[in-house]
Amino acid sequence: MTLGASLTVIAILPFSGSDVSLLSDDGASSVAETSSVVARVSSYFLTAAGRGDSVAVTLRNPTANVPLGHLAVPFGTEPNILGPRRFPRLGLIVGAVDPAGLEKMRNDPDVVDVVPAVAPKMMYNVELLEDGGAQRSWSLDFLRIPDLWNKGITGKGLAIGHLDSGVAGDHPALKRPLKAFAVIDSTGGSSEGGAASDSHGHGTHTAGILCAQPMNGVTVGIAPDASLFCCQITGEGALMRLLGGLEWLLGKNVRLISLSAGVQPFNPVFQAVIDRLRLSNILPIVAIGNEYAGSSYSPANYRNALGVGSISDQSNVADSSCSQNFGEPPPYSKPDLVAPGVGILSTRRFGGYEMRSGTSQATPCVVGIAALLMQAFPNATIAEIEQRIIRSCRKINGEPASRQGHGIVNPVTALSVLSP
């Protein structure tokens, strides 16, 4: 079959059938979709990915604050997706579509939205420092984390989803927290049960910030008694790996997701995913990016994702920490808050410890704090936990509001603020 023009898109479906829908008022989770709807929508996709010119896509019922209109994306931003590929827990179908199929999809009342597929990228560190003599991450005392530990608040009973380059499962400080590990392939499929590994080192470092246990006098993890569910999502086919990782985590009953990946500039491709995570009572916490002021990454720059920037031990926002103002009514700015992210000591892929810097380090810091708060307030919704975090923040004198959001997170204050 000769194809003229085609585009890889994500079709977003409502959930229906006998089970409660993800999009229902009570937000209960379901993987049920009417098979006839799935079959019909799947028929709009091509059975093999072709290549061609850009195709203009009209966004239907956009959930992000972007103007209605046409969004042209060059084909090939997420190439070679043979489809369609269905992610039932997320309620998505991904694949290549030609103009005729796209028109049918846009006019189908059972398709909530259609967005062009765009490949995200990992936000790797802006700095890597070796320090074999360090025994404790400065962030722990800066945030007074031991004050919470002394109250018995260690993240016990909380499941954290971790999407990254993997994790070194043989690191002594991570063996106990790590409960499950999956490699996500370029089609979005998951392979679970193999030895946990890390393709880069980034994931082992961020995992340690989340929940590494004290080992041989070295302390780096914020929620050492939390459970870690890790997906390795690095490699070609980044979009499918990310969606496949989220699909896998939705089956693990995680309450929090730590993510240091995204798309630049603002792009609504992940908006429905963030919406559905929240409706499943999962709080997504995302790195805002390591570029410069006036830039940011999606999904961290969505209104309903908690976007995190980075500060030093002197309470200065890192020069590389992204920040951006958005003028859509009502106007808003990102990040939402900042946390320690410069020179953070954590676990090293090949054993031992190392220091790294970036919003990737600040993000698991906030995720770890959220896990502590969820243990302290087990009946709280994710919105209530989020508000405790935001209302705890203190402003940094001399820093523009757009660079710091609400300010530096303060977990001790978050424990004592009145219920939202």
- Quickly state the pLDDT bin for 404 (edges 50, 70, 90): very high
Cα–Cα distance, 6 to 108 (Å, whole number): 19
Cα–Cα distance, 25 to 65 (Å, whole number): 22
Mean pLDDT in the chain? 85
Residues in the chain: 420
Cα–Cα distance, 225 to 207 (Å, whole number): 13
DSSP for 177-195?
TEEEEEEE-TTS-EEESSP
Average pLDDT over residues 274-293: 95
User: Kind and range of the H or E element at 349?
Assistant: none
* Residue 137 Cα distances to 145, 211, 355, 407, angstroms: 11, 13, 9, 20
Please give the residue that has the higher pLDDT: either 43 or 418: 43
Measured in whole angstroms, how far is the alpha carbon of residue 219 from the centre of its chain?
Answer: 25
Complete domains list, the chain, with CATH: 7-116 (no CATH), 121-416 (3.40.50.200)
Per-residue pLDDT tens over the stretch 118-129? 889 888 765 666
DSSP for 324-341?
EEE-SSSPEEE-SEEEE-
Question: Of 281, 203, 267, nearest to 239 (Cα)?
Answer: 267
The tokens describing 21, both together, are: 């829908």
Tally the C-alpha atoms within 13 A of residue 36's C-alpha that lie toward its C-beta. 1
Cα–Cα distance, 142 to 133 (Å, whole number): 19
CB of 188 within 8 A of CB of 85?
yes
Question: Of 119, 91, 76, nearest to 239 (Cα)?
Answer: 119
- Quickly state the pLDDT bin for 340 (edges 50, 70, 90): very high
- Quickly state the pLDDT bin for 243 (edges 50, 70, 90): very high
Per-residue pLDDT tens over the stretch 155-202? 999 999 999 999 999 999 999 999 999 999 999 999 998 999 999 999
Question: Residue 282: is its pLDDT beyond 50?
Answer: yes
User: Residue 327, class by beta-carbon neighbours within 10 Å (0-12 exposed, 13-18 middle, 19+ buried)?
Assistant: exposed
pLDDT attached to residue 20: 33
Question: Residue 25: is its pLDDT beyond 70?
Answer: no
Question: Of 285, 252, 280, nearest to 371 (Cα)?
Answer: 285
CB of 342 within 8 A of CB of 357?
yes
Between 49-58, 89-98, 213-222, the lowest mean confidence (pLDDT) is in 49-58
Cα–Cα distance, 290 to 321 (Å, whole number): 5
End-to-end CA distance of the chain: 58
Question: Residue 71: is its pLDDT beyond 50?
Answer: no
Q: Which residue has the tokens 């000591």?
A: 345
Question: Residue 392: is its pLDDT beyond 60?
Answer: yes
Question: Of 327, 337, 368, 307, nearest to 123 (Cα)?
Answer: 307
- Quickly state the pLDDT bin for 35 (edges 50, 70, 90): confident
* Residue 420 Cα distances to 23, 49, 383, 416, angstroms: 24, 48, 9, 11
pLDDT attached to residue 279: 93
The DSSP secondary-structure symbol of 277 reads: H
Question: Residue 67: is its pLDDT beyond 60?
Answer: no
pLDDT attached to residue 127: 61
CB of 314 within 8 A of CB of 305?
no
**Which pairing describes strands 306-311 and 283-287: parallel, antiparallel, or unpaired?**
parallel
pLDDT attached to residue 79: 44
